[in-house]
Amino acid sequence: MAESAVNYSSNVGECSNSKLIMAESAVKAVEPQIRERSGHAAAADRQHLYIWGGYASVADQEQFLPRDEIWIYDLERGSWCVRQVCGSAPPPLSGSSSCLLDGELFIFGGCSDDGQTNELYSISLGDGRFTCRRVTHRSGSPPSPRDKLCCWLHEGRIVFFGGYGPKLLREVGDLQSFTVDEASWADGVFWGWNNETHQFDPERRSWTEVQTTGGAPAPRAAHASATIGCKGFICGGRVKVAHGTHSQPSHTLRSSSSGASAWTADR
């Protein structure tokens, strides 16, 4: 279910070399303080770590953090700064999946006040204005709305796996790839976990559901992922079992330049 969305104010500062005049003409560098948070989007390049969105617990309530700012950690200096995001920013979200590609931070899915989403956004990191736009597709169909999924890059495309979210009854074609959460369904809409693999090609702006071979991981959410060469690794996550949810071992998806993808379980 979605957390309650509340704008949470924070101190906005300039990056790296910002200085504020303090007291009587005294100039002192001030570093803004990032709020503690969960469910945020995060990605890094060789110089910076980028943080967007998520929520914080305030007075025992979960409150969304601002959608119109991006926090940047300088890995060399060891310092934080925050910049305003302009353009068409996503709604406040938690549980999104994110990655960096060609100077843009891509943010997909997540959970808002209106529930899970399947919209894709990108924030330009090199234009000095941190312009955000909603990315529309020319072909294919995006995954169903979901949060707590993972993603990685392969040959210029973004690969997404798993997550938790709703599907219409007619969309649930295979219970091996979608596990219904028996505690969450109504009016022909079922929430649950999936083990689908989708990819988005930013250049062609096309969505494709990847057809894989081998023993696919169980449907899951809230797992971690990483890549080495042509291999995408996923580890852990929550899955539905007879008596609740539990963590899962790791799996590897090996992709070739021909488009073939095969799962193997790591022992």
Domain end call among 82, 109, 136: 136
pLDDT of res. 75:
97
Confidence of residue 4 (pLDDT cuts 50, 70, 90): very low
- 128 & 178 share domain: no
Q: How many angstroms from the chain centroid is the CA of residue 25?
A: 43
Answer whether residue 25 is part of any domain: no
Number of separate domains in the chain: 2
The CATH number that applies at residue 192 is 2.120.10.80
Domain end call among 136, 156, 178: 136
- 203 & 162 share domain: yes
Enumerate the β-bridge partners of residue 119: none
Range of the domain at 100: 1-19+36-136
pLDDT of res. 33:
92
| pLDDT over threshold 90, residue 123 | yes
Higher pLDDT, 108 or 58: 108
| pLDDT over threshold 50, residue 155 | yes
- 128 & 215 share domain: no
pLDDT of res. 170:
83
Q: What's the whole-model pTM score?
A: 0.85
DSSP collapsed to 3 states, 93-140: CECCEEEEECCEEEEECCEECCEECCCEEEEECCCCCCEEEEECCCEC
- 187 & 130 share domain: no
Handedness of CA 171, 172, 176, 181 (dihedral sign): positive
What integer is the mean pLDDT of 79-103?
97
For 232-259, the pLDDT digits (tens) are: 999 999 987 644 445 566 788 888 665 6
- 13 & 86 share domain: yes
pLDDT of res. 248:
61
Answer whether residue 226 is part of any domain: yes
- 162 & 59 share domain: no
Q: In what order do the strands lie in the sheet with 79-84?
A: 41-44, 48-52, 69-74, 79-84
